[in-house]
């Protein structure tokens, strides 16, 4: 036994002098294998933090079309949309270029039919809703509507059942204040008409087809507003909804009956002053003669109505 221990000790010393690796202990029936550290791959933990990218703080709302682009990107064109982080409104792109405004076959205040050139802009897809406007009131940037009820509904502005219906009883100054709060502005009269009419001179947002109950909410004297965007078949060439029927809309311009006779040919903004502001579009109570794309009216900016709302626009920079 002493001879065995001596021999084992000598073999270990001899192995160490030659630089061989010690053997691992093995279990019964297992052959010990030498450890080769040269073949082991080290685990590398990166010390550099990955680059952080900013993430939108709001969840995008699906709209049609669903292309969401930043303002001014090269891909921007008809069908492009963007979402407002302030109020969740979908904005539709209207490209720069000329269009036919007014009419030679209607009342004096829309004469003559004339060509206007507009820079590119974005238009709200629908009228501003009760829910959107309520956010502005909560933020202290807008005053509450002058009346809470609509034509047939109690608590129209405050009842959650009507949250997605167009806000009513808002005077011009408050409509303008809302658009500024949302980072936009009221559309000019020319912007509104191009967004509703396109470049082919159509009578209605959807074309020249006669109005019907499948295309818009109109001609119901005993009726009321409906939820925004429920008439996709009545969309304008750029996808704007409810630009005929449901509720009339404030625009930015002062009203002048014969303004078209002296209107500039590029980016008109209306007279410098006046007593009334322009309102556009028809309402739930208007007949077919009042919902055409070129029809315009004037109304005192302090007036409100159960058939008057608004939408906003954003000018391309």
Map residue 225 onto helix, strand or coil: coil
Rounded Cα distance, 18 and 180, in Å: 86
Q: With 0-12 CB in 10 A as exposed, 13-18 as middle and 19+ as buried, what is 267?
A: middle
- Residue 53 lies inside a defined structural domain of this protein: no
Within a domain: 264: yes
272 in a structural domain: yes
Using CA atoms, how far residue 128 sits from 29, 88, 90, 160, 195, in Å, is 82, 10, 11, 15, 16
Whole-structure pTM value: 0.77
Domain assignment present for 41: no
Q: At what angle do helices 130-138 and 172-181 cross, to 10 degrees?
A: 80
| Cβ atoms of 313 and 186 closer than 8 Å | yes
Residue 100 lies in a domain: yes
Positive/negative CA dihedral, 266, 267, 269, 270: positive
Instruction: Report if residue 222 sits inside a domain.
Output: yes
100-106 CB contacts, 8 Å cutoff, 24+ apart: 100/197, 100/199, 100/201, 101/190, 101/193, 101/194, 101/197, 101/260, 101/294, 102/260, 102/294, 103/294, 106/292, 106/294, 106/295
For the chain, 317 residues long, the average pLDDT of each consecutive 10-residue run is 39 39 36 36 34 34 35 67 96 97 94 97 98 98 98 97 98 98 98 98 97 96 96 98 98 98 97 97 96 97 98 89
Residue 255, Cα to own-chain centre: how many angstroms? 28
**Size of the chain in residues:** 317
CATH of residue 120's domain is 3.90.1580.10
Query: In the numeric block, which tokens belong to residue 174?
Result: 């408050």
Sheet holding 248-254, edge to edge: 296-299, 277-280, 248-254, 308-310
Number of domains in the chain: 1
DSSP 65-105: S--B--TT-TT--TT-EEE-TTT--EEEEE-SEEEEES-SS
CA–CA distance, 317 with 304 (Å, rounded to integer): 33
In a domain, 267, yes or no: yes
Which of 302, 299, 296 is closest to 282 using CA atoms?
296
Query: Is the peptide bond preceding residue 65 cis, with omega within 30 degrees of 0?
Result: yes
* pLDDT value at residue 4: 37
Give me the domain span that covers residue 97: 81-128+170-315
User: Does residue 255 form part of some domain?
Assistant: yes
């Amino acid at each position: 036994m002493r001879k065995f221990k001596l021999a084992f000790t000598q073999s270990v010393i001899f192995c160490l002098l030659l630089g061989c690796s010690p053997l691992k202990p093995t279990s019964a029936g297992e052959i010990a294998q030498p450890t080769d550290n040269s073949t082991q791959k080290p685990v590398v933990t990166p010390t550099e933090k990955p680059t952080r990218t900013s993430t939108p703080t709001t969840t995008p709302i699906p709209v049609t079309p669903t292309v969401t682009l930043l303002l001014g990107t090269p891909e921007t064109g008809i069908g492009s949309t963007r979402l407002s982080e302030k109020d969740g409104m979908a904005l539709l792109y209207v490209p720069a270029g000329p269009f036919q405004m007014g009419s030679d076959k209607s009342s004096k205040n829309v004469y003559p039919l004339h060509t206007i050139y507009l820079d590119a802009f974005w238009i709200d897809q629908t009228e501003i809703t009760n829910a959107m406007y309520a956010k502005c009131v909560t933020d202290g940037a807008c005053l509450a509507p002058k009346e809470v009820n609509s034509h047939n509904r109690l608590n129209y502005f405050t009842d959650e059942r009507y949250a997605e219906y167009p806000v009513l009883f808002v005077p011009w100054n408050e409509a303008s204040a809302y658009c500024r709060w949302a980072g936009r502005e009221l559309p000019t009269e020319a912007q509104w008409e191009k967004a509703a009419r396109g470049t082919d001179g159509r009578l209605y947002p959807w074309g020249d087809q006669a109005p019907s109950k499948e295309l818009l909410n109109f001609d119901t004297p005993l009726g009321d507003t409906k939820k925004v965007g429920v008439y996709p078949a009545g969309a304008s060439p750029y996808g704007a909804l409810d630009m005929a029927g449901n509720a009339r809309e404030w625009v930015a311009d002062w009203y002048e009956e014969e303004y078209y006779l002296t209107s500039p040919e590029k980016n008109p903004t209306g007279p410098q002053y006046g007593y009334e502001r322009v309102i556009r579009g028809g309402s739930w109570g208007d007949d077919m003669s009042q919902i055409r794309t070129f029809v315009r009216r004037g109304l005192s900016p302090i007036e409100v109505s159960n058939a008057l709302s608004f939408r906003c626009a954003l000018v391309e920079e």
